[in-house]
Amino acid sequence: MGKGAAKYGYKSGILPSTRRILKNPTVNQTNIIEKIKDVKPKGIKGTGYADGIKHPRGSHRNPPPVKFVNVEEVIYNSVKPRSEGAKATSEKQLLKQNQAELRRKFLSESLRNEEQRLLMQEELLKKKERILHEQREAELQEINKERSSNLTIPTLEDIMNQPLMRQRTAEEQAILNLKRKHNKEMIEFKAKERKLASLVQLSHAADHFIVTEEQLAATVEKVFASDNQDVLRNKLSLSSSQQTARNESEISDALFGTLGNGRFVGLPIVKEFLSGEMEQFTEDVNSKLDDLSKQAEERKDSVL
């Protein structure tokens, strides 16, 4: 950072100011043409110099005429198309012709885009002036509106004719519609998420479904066997210890996003895997462990 950087906000350098592509207005900018054609008054409240008053040396008594350009003529005069008879005889000449063709293309596009930008800017300024004029007219009409309530006490009929509640403005109604849309989409998203969680739980439970007669017979034989009667009795009974274990299992599943006391993968783990958050977390943990192991080895070497 050299000297004189304070006037640039203590920055090492500044970017150059952007240059205009079109130095003069185009023939399609009707707004500028209409302003120039309007006769401007002279004198104290006008422009120019009054009769009998000499203008300063080195200046013009009348402003120079504004020159309007045609973009298509500028493009034709600046980047004239290549003659059909000129053909490249070597690879170097062919490369130069391709580069020249690209320059013609990019310059033509930039000039046309600049003209479109100026026309769009002019249209937006007209729209802004029209909106501001309408707002001023509405404000003046509101101010000049006769208000009988400022002079007399309103009658019972006037009070009854007035609305009971203030109507929402357009902005308030738009905000309310956005809130309603957000709430509706959030309710639909939560419902789809619950369905997806039920689907994941159902897919894990499908491994234990009895779908054939052989599986049904084997399960009945296993449950009603003489040596499993105590197990069946424990399953049908609801003791306090089993209720406590079930609560602990539900709490563990809710904390870690699993199902069946950590035996199956739950919806939160599936979402983390699909979003890549689990992989990123594993990489961060592995990198942290590697750093700790390196620090421990360095500390061990320093001690030795």
Mean pLDDT over each residue of the chain, to the nearest integer: 80
Q: Between 88 and 17, whose confidence is greater?
A: 17
Please compute, for residue 255, the number of CA atoms within 13 A of its CA located in the half-sphere on the CB side: 8
**pLDDT tens-digit series, residues 24-66:** 888 888 888 888 777 776 666 667 777 777 888 888 777 778 8
**0.75 exceeded by the pTM?**
no
Whole-number pLDDT of residue 88: 64
CB 27 within 8 A of CB 69: yes
Q: Which two tokens stand for residue 69?
A: 């350009």
Q: Copy the structure tokens of residue 182.
A: 């957000």
Query: Are the C-beta atoms of 148 and 159 separated by less than 8 Å?
Result: no
Q: How far apart are CA 269 and CA 273, in angstroms?
A: 6
Q: What is the pLDDT of residues 164-173, one digit of tens each?
A: 888 889 999 9
The number of angstroms, rounded, from the C-alpha of 141 to the middle of its chain's C-alpha atoms is: 39
| 18-22, 132-136, 236-240, 243-247: least confidently modelled range | 236-240
For 64-97, what is each residue's pLDDT tens digit? 788 888 888 888 888 777 766 666 678 888 888 8
Residue 216, H or E segment: helix 213-223
What is the 3-state secondary structure of 155-195?
A: CHHHHHHCCCCCCCCHHHHHHHHHHHHHHHHHHHHHHHHHH
Cα distance between residue 243 and residue 264, in whole Å? 21
Amino acid, single-letter form, for residue 72: E
Q: Which has the higher per-residue pLDDT, 124 or 215?
A: 124
Would you state the structure tokens that stand for residue 43, as one six-digit string?
């004198």
Rg (CA), the chain: 41
